[in-house]
Amino acid sequence: MPSVRSGWIQGLCSLAHHPSALHFLADSGAVDTIFALQGDPSLFVASAASQLLVHILALAMQGGASGSPISEAAAWPICAQKIVNHVEESLHSKATPQVTQALNVLTTTFGRCHSPWTGVLWGRLSPPVACLFERDPIPAVHSLMDLLLSVARSHVLNFAACGLWEMLAQTLSRLSPTQAGPLALGTLKLQHCPQELRTQAFGVLLQPLACILKATTQAPGPPGLLDGTAGSSLTVDALLSSKSACVGLLCQTLAHLEELQMLPQCPCPWPQVPLLGATVTILRLCDGSVDPSSSMGGRLCGTLGGCVRVQRAALDFLGTLSQGTSPLELVLEVFAVLLKTLESPESSPTVLKKAFQATLRWLQNSHKTPNCSDLSPDALLFLGELFPILQKRLCSPCWEVRDSALEFLTHLIRHWGGQADFREALHSSEVPTLARQLLQDPESYVRASAVGTAGQLSSRGLQATSASPENPLAQQGLLMDLMHILSTDSEGFPRRAVLRVFTEWLRDGHADVIRDTEWFVATVLQAVSRDLDWEVRMQGLELAQVFLIQAMGQPSLHCPYTVGLPEATSPRPHPEFLQTLCRLPLFEFAFCALLDCDRPVAQKACDLLLFLRDKTTHCSGPQEAGDSPNSASVEAVLQRWREGEQGQPLGDLEPEAMLAILRSLDLEGLQGKLAKSSDHVEKSPQSLLQDMLATVGILEENEADCY
Amino acid sequence: MLDCGLDMTSTLNFLPLPLVQSPRLSNLPGWSLKDGNAFLDKELKECSGHVFVDSVPEFCLPETELIDLSTVDVILISNYHCMMALPYITEHTGFTGTVYATEPTMQIGRLLMEELVNFIERVPKAQSASLWKNKDIQRLLPSPLKDAVEVSTWRRCYTMQEVNSALSKIQLVGYSQKIELFGAVQVTPLSSGYALGSSNWIIQSHYEKVSYVSGSSLLTTHPQPMDQASLKNSDVLVLTGLTQIPTANPDGMVGEFCSNLALTVRNGGNVLVPCYPSGVIYDLLECLYQYIDSAGLSNIPFYFISPVANSSLEFSQIFAEWLCHNKQSKVYLPEPPFPHAELIQTNKLKHYPSIHGDFSNDFRQPCVVFTGHPSLRFGDVVHFMELWGKSSLNTVIFTEPDFSYLEALAPYQPLAMKCIYCPIDTRLNFIQVSKLLKEVQPLHVVCPEQYTQPPPAQSHRMDLMIDCQPPAMSYRRAEVLALPFKRRYEKIEIMPELADSLVPMEIKPGISLATVSAVLHTKDNKHVLQPPPRPTQPPSSKKRKRVSEDVPDCKVLKPLLSGSIPVEQFVQTLEKHGFSDIKVEDTAKGHIVLLQEAETLIQIEEDSTHIICDNDETLRVRLRDLVLRFLQKF
């Protein structure tokens, strides 16, 4: 049973915290068993075995070589020698799985142990590792690269002396473009890496895009990426060999560059313009609008035409590139290609989603003036063309498209809903009307998104038919529509969306809400308390919390490390407010949620009640908990609830009784219990013991790998 | 003859035929030459910067000059769009052959022809323009009239009588049915997956196979799926009827169609869909059936207006055996295979023969109208273009790929209504073709020249052409192409009684030979070996025999020989038999054995042996017998 083997390893791991366990491990033959378990059919067991080996090796070295490192590996403790010999042997093996196991052990060792002995270890094992590169094909390429990067990240080694940089450089030039990509990215992430190697690694990542530019640019074009560098023939071969190779290489490269741009180690200067040009070109190759200048371009056009995977990767990277500064003409090209993608009937729903995301990022970042979040004139022109497309997408027969279009629209309104030009452009389109109509969409995801959009439109005063403030009825109509969805929609997503909108409305003081907040909160809580969806109930608690914070002030900070700043004393809650809470009935809702079978709901209710208790400390009357007969009956009801008789109302209660119960409950204790993750029972030794007993009873091995 | 389609793009050069008097169209100014000469102003009218022929629309016929169509024995029809020129061929060329087509092809083809005739005949136009066709005058005209080809061959539409007569020459066939053509070849229609009853054809003899692939689709729409397996092992695959819009994916276009339709209707506008009365419309109605409720369009009426609307909707429901599997299985439930039955039942879809009559009473806006003709030159669509063209709320959505939508719209300019181009062409695209060719692996592919190079407007799109090995043989208009195979063998049958009389002799393990003496009887391209007639009895009377009964006398046959002569052993045998002074010489083809004493020469070659001796017949016979010892006789 894999769980038992896994448990055995975990047990040894715990044992291996004690130096005295070393002898036991060495003498009992456990290390040999661990060697065998490295090849376990369960990946979890195999991985745990490798990690245990590293752990034992580190323990042995820690005990045996306190102080300065023993330069001779031969003088290492026997247990350590045994492990190292095993690893070395495995490195010489012809079987790739064994090589992989050895490499994984080494990778973990260099990742975890930063003692001087690791330098000696590398000194001994780097020759067999180097030999692996001589084999054809190179075995376990990915594990090899992981090892090199793990060694390179170590602080202990003198890289120049141990020849690691040379090894990395050679590897980068020897591997195929697809294999070299991850290594190049890893190299660029290294903090102390020679500039020459960084340049080489960056070149590996840029090469495919340079090829794309070269194949499609009318010669002689503007300076592109990697002008005049050799070694591109491998990349060209990879791009042209087959469709899958081409698509794989481009997707990987685009993803790596995207990741790189977000990192502090991002190469400087960053070739923003050629990269943007190449990305736009790739998108054009995908939509067939490039007129390539070479035969290679023609073939790429055929290979990439309509390729959804590449389109998605390119759009992701395009979105990230919006953070750099780009010349206006290129920005306009970006907008053009985005419009084409959004407009094209050929664009798949997933591509459209990515295109919407990229569009949003470019709108946010294009020609942003330092102190202005307004849309640039180009962006406004773009919006003028975008809204008709958005209208069409909102009517798409494909629900994913309607959904993405609504999400995009919600973001647009959130960012620019207050800007006059945007409002005008939006109003002159049918978009708000269409979005409102989608509240009745047959697809629940779309209804949920439509709820979000309608809420956002309403918050900004951009609602469809009732744009004029003199028509409050229509506005009220949306509130009632959303209430209707909350109480009748059969799917959870739209109901959750309604609560998010309501919470936001309450937080922002939406006109419809502040008109009669008490009615609003009471109606919502009433609907939510009956809801079967735990997320809806949780959102209901969130709404209740916002309501309480607005009335009682922010919760006080309990962080032990913060300096106690002079806090403005929060206003003592008015007794009438407590009456309101009882009437809503917020107390009943929170107590009920405290016993919720879904842990997050109970946790949230616990937090809410703690907040309430803190805020009402000063309201306590002279009587102690339990004094009031009223509170006794409440406690009795709570007790019955615990026993599973939910549904019985608490009845009309006085605030004093509620406060008494609040004080009587061990909310802190409950909070601690609820904070434990749900699998703490499964991870307990008792559970493992049960597994072991079960194994004894089962003759046939159960292959199900539960851990 | 493979198919006989009609080129209807010629009608785009003509003014539309309005169903209701149109002041705009009837008051168009006549066109005059640059020098002010206005002699053509009765025939040509100017409209929005374009010049149109003011006459009954005319169609461009198939090539009739290259071959004498009266010599054509058979026409194979692949789908109902490819038979629209049939009346011109069968009624006016002296054609006396047979036309083969499936039943849905014929029935729906009839509907298309009937609609066409109806559209044209119900708006009689006295005027017929012919002056402009004069070659000297034509070159003075503006484009596209100037560049129109073969205008002298353009003809008016046929009559219903001609249609009926043409259709009576059709012999109905079913998929996979083998039809013998004069014993020379066998033809078989296979499902092509494009339309109801659409077919590809196999033309094969015993040793050669030619496939004709035209208008096929691999998409899952309403027709029976394409039969690819039967196309395997073809010597030649003639490929035509690929998608006209290779860059447009039908799924995307259907989505586009629905989005634009919903957008227009939600804004209170009307949607006009110019279409044929059969084909893609069934799929569109099915999509809309699934879409209208979710798009909140349940209250919007859908109108299908065509003289054959009713027949088309009804026919589609009864051709169960020609439908895809899903639809076939519905029939057994029993349910109508197409959901448009439900749309009609619930009054969401209404159909009318024309805008006159009931339609005008029921007409409610906003609405969606499906009507013909996609060229926008005749049919009820002309009325709706005139009616709705002025409002930007309305939309015309083009789904048929046969006509350039910009050219179709030219006589309606300036136009306020929105125009959406969503060509839905489900026929094979180039990616599908290359997969198909890899699958069926024909020895040679023959296709129109246009398929072997990228489209002129997208010369860089190397993916928009046929890429196969060996490269496809292409042909262009009026080019004569020799197909790359020869008929080397014919199959001959042996009559059972003759076969009984044969005595095979095994000459090698697994190989037996027998001599056959028989009469080869050839009739209708079938060859039969019959037993030879018994030796004729001497005529009892002195009556002169008829020539046909004259059978050649059967001579006594010498046995056939096989095997080879091992020279060394042969020499030894000669020596045993008293020959001496024997010399052997090797030659290029075999050996020469010289009997110097006897002055005789034996020439042994692979397929002959000669004994050359000087008038010594006895010696020759002796030597011959020695040679024969080494050979087998049968």
Q: Give the β-pairing of B271-274 and B302-305.
A: unpaired
**Residue from A307, A395, A441 to probe the interface with B (highest B Cβ count within 10 Å):** A395
pLDDT of A230 reads 46
Structure token pair of residue B302: 């859908």
Q: Is the dihedral of CA B569, B575, B576, B578 positive or negative?
A: positive
**Mean pLDDT within B243-268:** 92
Which residues make beta-bridge pairs with B75? Answer: B99
The helix (H) or strand (E) run that includes residue B347 is: none
A261: left (phi over 0), alpha (psi -120 to 50) or beta: alpha
CA–CA dist B324, B194 (Å, integer)? 11
CA–CA dist A56, A385 (Å, integer)? 65
**Mean pLDDT within B111-131:** 90
Chain centroid to Cα B5, Å, comes to 10
* Residue A559: half-sphere exposure toward Cβ, Cα within 13 Å: 6
A570 pLDDT tier (thresholds 50, 70, 90) = low
End-to-end Cα distance, chain B:
50
Whether residues B259 and A397 touch (CB distance < 8 A) is answered with yes
- Order of strands across the sheet that contains B74-76: B74-76, B98-102, B170-173
pLDDT of B193 reads 95
The helix (H) or strand (E) run that includes residue B214 is: strand B209-214
Whether residues B460 and A297 touch (CB distance < 8 A) is answered with yes
Whether residues A434 and B253 touch (CB distance < 8 A) is answered with no
Residues 274-333, chain B: which have Cβ within 8 Å of A? 287, 290-291, 293-296
The chain-wide mean pLDDT, for chain A, equals 83
Whether residues A305 and B463 touch (CB distance < 8 A) is answered with yes
Residues of B in contact with A298 (CB under 8 A): 460-462
CA–CA dist A488, A151 (Å, integer)? 60
Structure token pair of residue A79: 């247990």
- Tell me: pLDDT of A502 over 80: yes
Chain A closest-CA separation from residue B441 CA (Å): 21
- Tell me: pLDDT of A225 over 90: no
**Residue among A298, A346, A440 minimizing CB distance to B252:** A346
- Order of strands across the sheet that contains B492-494: B492-494, B526-530, B519-523
Cβ pair A211, A274 in contact under 8 A: no
Residues, chain B: 634
CA–CA dist B40, B30 (Å, integer)? 7
Residue linked to tokens 């080879």: B564
Whether residues B463 and A302 touch (CB distance < 8 A) is answered with yes
- Tell me: pLDDT of A591 over 50: yes
Name the most confidently modeled range: A292-301, A569-578, B415-424: B415-424
Question: Rounded to 10 degrees, what is the CA torsion of A291, A293, A298, A304?
Answer: -60
Q: Report ipTM for this prediction.
A: 0.73
Q: How many CB atoms lie within 10 A of CB A503?
A: 20
**Side chain identity at B13, as an amino acid letter?**
N
Q: CA-based angle A149:A155:A160, to the nearest 5?
A: 75
Close Cβ partners of B4 (under 8 Å, ≥ 6 residues apart): B62, B75, B77, B82, B83, B84, B85, B86, B88, B89
Percentage with pLDDT > 90 across chain A: 37
Chain A closest-CA separation from residue B324 CA (Å): 23
- Tell me: pLDDT of B387 over 90: yes
Q: How many CB atoms lie within 10 A of CB A684?
A: 11
B438 SS3 class: helix
Chain A closest-CA separation from residue B288 CA (Å): 9
Name the most confidently modeled range: B121-125, B279-283, B453-457: B279-283
pLDDT of A220 reads 52
pLDDT tens sequence across A186-221:
999 988 888 999 999 999 999 899 888 888 876 554
**Side chain identity at B416, as an amino acid letter?**
A
- Tell me: pLDDT of A630 over 70: no
**DSSP secondary structure code for residue A571 in this structure:** P
Q: CA-nearest residue of chain B to A301?
A: B461
**Side chain identity at B72, as an amino acid letter?**
V
**What backbone torsions phi and psi does residue B237 show, to the nearest 5 degrees?**
-120, 115
Counting beta carbons within 10 angstroms of the beta carbon of residue B332, is it exposed (0 to 12), middle (13 to 18) or buried (19 or more)?
exposed
A583 pLDDT tier (thresholds 50, 70, 90) = confident
pLDDT of A470 reads 45
A706 pLDDT tier (thresholds 50, 70, 90) = very low
Residues of B in contact with A218 (CB under 8 A): none
- Tell me: pLDDT of B608 over 90: no
Q: Does A442 touch chain B (CB under 8 A)?
A: yes
Chain A closest-CA separation from residue B248 CA (Å): 7
Q: How many CB atoms lie within 10 A of CB B485?
A: 14
Short-list B273, B279, B258, B267, CA closest to B303: B273
Who wins on pLDDT, A547 or A567? A547
A596 SS3 class: coil
**Side chain identity at A659, as an amino acid letter?**
L
A366 pLDDT tier (thresholds 50, 70, 90) = low
pLDDT of B200 reads 97
CA–CA dist A358, A339 (Å, integer)? 11
**DSSP output for B106-122:** HHHHHHHHHHHHHHHHT
Cis, peptide link before residue B144, omega less than 30° from 0:
yes
Whether residues B253 and A345 touch (CB distance < 8 A) is answered with yes
Residues of A in contact with B256 (CB under 8 A): 345, 392
Q: Which of A406-410, B36-40, B344-348, B489-493 has the lowest mean pLDDT?
A: B36-40
Q: Give the β-pairing of B302-305 and B368-371.
A: parallel
Percent helix, strand, coil in chain B, to 5, is 30, 20, 50
Which residues make beta-bridge pairs with B494? Answer: B529
CA–CA dist A396, A390 (Å, integer)? 10
**Mean pLDDT within A8-12:** 86
Which residues make beta-bridge pairs with B351? Answer: B304
pLDDT tens sequence across B18-64:
988 888 888 899 988 877 787 888 889 999 889 999 999 999 998 88
Structure token pair of residue B568: 């060394």
**Residue among B255, B266, B462 minimizing CB distance to A302:** B462
**What backbone torsions phi and psi does residue B584 show, to the nearest 5 degrees?**
-120, 130
pLDDT of A371 reads 53
Whether residues B263 and A291 touch (CB distance < 8 A) is answered with no
The runs of H, that is alpha helices, within A305-327 are 308-321
CA–CA dist B226, B193 (Å, integer)? 4
Whether residues B458 and A288 touch (CB distance < 8 A) is answered with yes
CA–CA dist B214, B427 (Å, integer)? 9
The helix (H) or strand (E) run that includes residue A586 is: helix A586-594
Q: CA-nearest residue of chain A to B289?
A: A397
Percentage with pLDDT > 70 across chain A: 81
- Tell me: pLDDT of A626 over 50: no
Q: Which of A153-157, A416-420, B143-147 has the lowest mean pLDDT?
A: A153-157
Short-list A630, A632, A547, A629, CA closest to A589: A547
pLDDT tens sequence across B287-342:
999 888 778 788 899 999 999 999 999 988 888 889 999 898 988 888 899 999 99
The chain-wide mean pLDDT, for chain B, equals 90
pLDDT tens sequence across A473-496:
455 589 999 999 999 999 999 999
Residues of A in contact with B424 (CB under 8 A): none
pLDDT tens sequence across A40-79:
888 889 999 999 999 888 888 876 545 555 556 667 888 8
pLDDT of A628 reads 56
pLDDT of B543 reads 53
**Mean pLDDT within B203-225:** 94
Q: CA-nearest residue of chain A to B268?
A: A430
Structure token pair of residue B201: 């054809």
Q: Which of A312-321, A687-696, B598-607, B619-628 has the lowest mean pLDDT?
A: A687-696
Residues 648-687, chain A: which have Cβ within 8 Å of B? none
Structure token pair of residue B453: 């190079």
B593 SS3 class: strand
**DSSP secondary structure code for residue A305 in this structure:** T
Give the pTM: 0.79
CA–CA dist B42, B29 (Å, integer)? 9
pLDDT of A580 reads 79
CA–CA dist A289, B247 (Å, integer)? 11
Residue linked to tokens 């979000």: A452
Q: Which of A370-374, A547-551, A703-707 has the lowest mean pLDDT?
A: A703-707
Q: CA-nearest residue of chain A to B256?
A: A345
Residue linked to tokens 């209807």: B8
- Tell me: pLDDT of A462 over 90: no
Cβ pair A493, A447 in contact under 8 A: yes
pLDDT of B404 reads 94
Close Cβ partners of B108 (under 8 Å, ≥ 6 residues apart): B80, B195, B196, B197, B278, B312, B315
pLDDT of B216 reads 96
Residues 233-252, chain B: which have Cβ within 8 Å of A? 247-249, 252
**Residue among B247, B256, B290 minimizing CB distance to A288:** B247
